[in-house]
């Protein structure tokens, strides 16, 4: 009791201005990450198969483009471990400065890559190289931003404040989708494949410069300073800290696997709906390219309302119940929504509406809850590391390999049903994790223990 009081008394103070800077910093970093995510995912789905893999069949080129997309996710888990550890030892601020710089430079450099027609096989090799370096930084970016903002936010408002990180994903997705939509509207196919595809990647440099400048002026997380000071001073709280930072302890932690399950459900649906489905509609079903891009753009605009609303609701009723409801909704709606979306004889507006609904429920809705829930699940000593690795473990399997597997299964069966099955599987995993997790709303973030181990 006295130990807790001592920690609370020593908690560094942060002004409203500091909180705003932390929120904008997290928002911009996440926006850049997901701007890259959507820039590349739509590029891979819609044009990269012709630019970097032109000698393959349409189906195989799409699979190869998605495989290159997945290479970044393999690197992300390595980056999560390296930078997560650094974030728990040297501080959140320093690591977030490194990650945003790595991501921004690599995204911009994709825009100046030579094509397969210019240098042959070295073009996709360079693309994979940039995706790997980019993935190293991205592996800790959103976890670091989520950790920082959760540790800044006051109790009772963590959900809605942390939803700003999720709003960053929305802004990034919206910006990237809007840029691609403009490219498709103003440029013909020859112009797009010749030089137009470079513009979306080069434009990301503006976001990078602003985010880097902001993070140079950001104060460290008050929770990190508090816990770090307790360790340096060898206080009684530090002495009684029984948290284990070893890899073995992490992989045997119930909290780690619950958080990974939550991430697996959301990330898997994101990879299928935002990445693979967009390409499948255009390449396999021969839809107009504007249909998936316009639908995702509209969905992102709607997300500006649904994301903070869900963050606010979770502050009132807890994190578990909204998770459970959204996953059940995704399971129930997967088949009827997809059956309408892939129906070429259907009304275009109805098809787009169904894509918007399933995207908001199975992707944006779950992500609105993810960052704050995962931050509250983990203890203060290892929060950055465990949050980053659990996010990227789920992302590696679900997003890195999911679109590739979906391409293979759809090609083998000549059907869209594998997409439905995979969405249901992902959502069931998320549902089970939500049911099994403890309620973590307004948990003491200076507690060194993980929530399920308390």
In the predicted model, is pLDDT for residue 207 greater than 90?
A: no
pLDDT band at 243 (very low <50, low <70, confident <90, very high): low
All domains of the chain in start order, with CATH: 16-226+247-453 (1.20.1250.20)
Alpha carbon distance 201, 352 (integer Å): 26
How do residues 144-194 score in pLDDT, each as one tens digit? Answer: 888 888 988 888 999 998 888 778 877 887 788 788 888 888 888 788 888
pLDDT higher at 244 or 16: 16
Beta strand spans in 169-288 (E): none
pTM: 0.81
Q: Report the alpha-carbon distance of residue 10 to residue 228 in Å, rounded.
A: 11
In whole angstroms, what separates CA 378 from the centre of its chain? Answer: 18
Q: What is the mean pLDDT of residues 345-366?
A: 91
Residue 273 has pLDDT above 50, yes or no: yes
Looking at 4-13, 88-97, 205-214, which range is the least confident one? 4-13
CA distances (Å), origin 247, targets 85, 317, 382, 384, 424:
11, 33, 11, 13, 31
Return the percent helix, strand and coil in the chain, to nearest 5.
80, 0, 20
DSSP class of residue 445 equals: T
Q: Is 50 exceeded by the pLDDT of residue 381?
A: yes
How distant, in Å, are the alpha carbons of 29, 103, 427 from that of 108? 15, 9, 34
Q: How far is it, in rounded angstroms, from Cα 170 to Cα 25?
A: 15
Of the listed ranges 137-151, 255-269, 303-317, the least confidently predicted one is 137-151
Helices (H) and strands (E) in the chain, counts: 23, 0
**Segment 100-134, tens digit of pLDDT:** 888 888 888 988 998 888 888 788 788 888 888 88
Give the range with max mean pLDDT: 116-130, 148-162, 317-331, 438-452. Answer: 317-331
More confident residue, 86 or 274: 86
Highest mean pLDDT among 30-44, 168-182, 316-330, 368-382: 316-330
The SS3 assignment for 334 reads helix
**In whole angstroms, what is the distance from residue 15 CA to residue 313 CA?**
25
pLDDT band at 327 (very low <50, low <70, confident <90, very high): very high
- DSSP reduced 3-state for 14: coil
pLDDT at 172: 81
**Is 157:19 a contact under the CB 8 Å cutoff?**
no
Residue with tokens 């489905």: 277
Which letter does DSSP use for residue 416 in this model? S
Best-predicted range by mean pLDDT (3-7, 64-68, 221-225): 221-225
pLDDT: which is higher, 89 or 244:
89
User: Tokens 């910093």 sit at which residue?
Assistant: 25
What 3 state SS string does 61-119 have?
HHHHHHHHHHHHHHHHHHHHHHHHHHHHHCCHHHHHHHHHHHHHHHHHHHCCCCCHHHH
For residue 284, give both structure tokens. Answer: 């396999």
pLDDT tens-digit series, residues 298-316: 888 898 899 999 999 999 9
């Amino acid at each position: 009791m006295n130990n807790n009081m001592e920690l609370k008394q020593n908690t560094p103070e942060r002004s409203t201005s500091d909180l705003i800077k932390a929120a904008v910093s997290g928002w911009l970093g996440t926006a850049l990450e997901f701007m890259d995510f959507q820039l590349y995912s739509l590029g891979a789905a819609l044009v990269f198969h012709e630019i970097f893999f032109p000698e393959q069949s349409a189906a195989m080129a799409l699979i190869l483009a998605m495989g290159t997309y997945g290479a970044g996710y393999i690197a992300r888990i390595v980056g999560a471990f390296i930078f997560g550890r650094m974030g728990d030892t040297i501080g959140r601020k320093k690591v977030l400065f490194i990650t945003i710089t790595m991501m921004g430079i690599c995204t911009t450099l994709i825009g100046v890559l030579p094509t397969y027609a210019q240098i042959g096989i070295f073009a996709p090799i360079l693309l994979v190289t940039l995706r790997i370096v980019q993935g190293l930084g991205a592996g800790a970016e959103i976890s670091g931003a989520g950790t920082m903002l959760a540790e800044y936010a006051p109790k009772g408002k963590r959900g809605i404040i942390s939803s700003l990180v999720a709003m960053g994903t929305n802004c990034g997705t919206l910006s990237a989708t809007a840029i691609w939509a403009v490219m498709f509207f103003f440029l013909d196919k020859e112009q797009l494949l010749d030089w137009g595809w470079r513009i979306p990647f080069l434009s990301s440099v503006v976001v990078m410069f602003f985010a880097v400048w902001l993070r140079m002026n950001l104060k460290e997380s008050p929770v990190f300073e508090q816990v770090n000071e307790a360790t340096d001073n060898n206080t009684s709280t530090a002495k009684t800290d029984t948290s284990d930072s070893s890899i073995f302890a992490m992989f045997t932690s119930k909290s780690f696997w619950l958080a990974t399950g939550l991430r697996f459900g959301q990330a898997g649906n994101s990879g299928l709906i935002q990445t693979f489905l967009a390409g499948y509609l255009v390449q396999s079903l021969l839809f107009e390219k504007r249909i998936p891009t316009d639908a995702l753009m509209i969905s992102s605009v709607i997300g500006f309302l649904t994301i903070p609303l869900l963050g606010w609701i979770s502050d009132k009723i807890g994190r578990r119940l909204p998770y459970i409801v959204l996953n059940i909704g995704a399971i129930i709606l997967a088949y009827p929504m997809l059956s309408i979306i892939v129906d070429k004889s259907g009304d275009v507006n109805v098809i787009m509406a169904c894509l918007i609904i399933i995207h908001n429920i199975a992707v944006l809705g779950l992500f609105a809850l993810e960052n704050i829930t995962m931050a509250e699940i983990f203890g203060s000593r290892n929060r950055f590391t465990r949050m980053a690795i659990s996010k990227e473990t789920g992302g590696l399997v679900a997003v890195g390999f999911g679109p590739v597997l979906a391409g293979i299964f759809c090609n083998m069966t000549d059907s869209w049903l594998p997409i439905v099955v995979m969405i249901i599987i992902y959502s069931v995993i998320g549902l089970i994790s939500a049911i099994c997790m403890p309620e973590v709303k307004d948990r003491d973030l200076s507690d060194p223990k993980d929530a399920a181990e308390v």
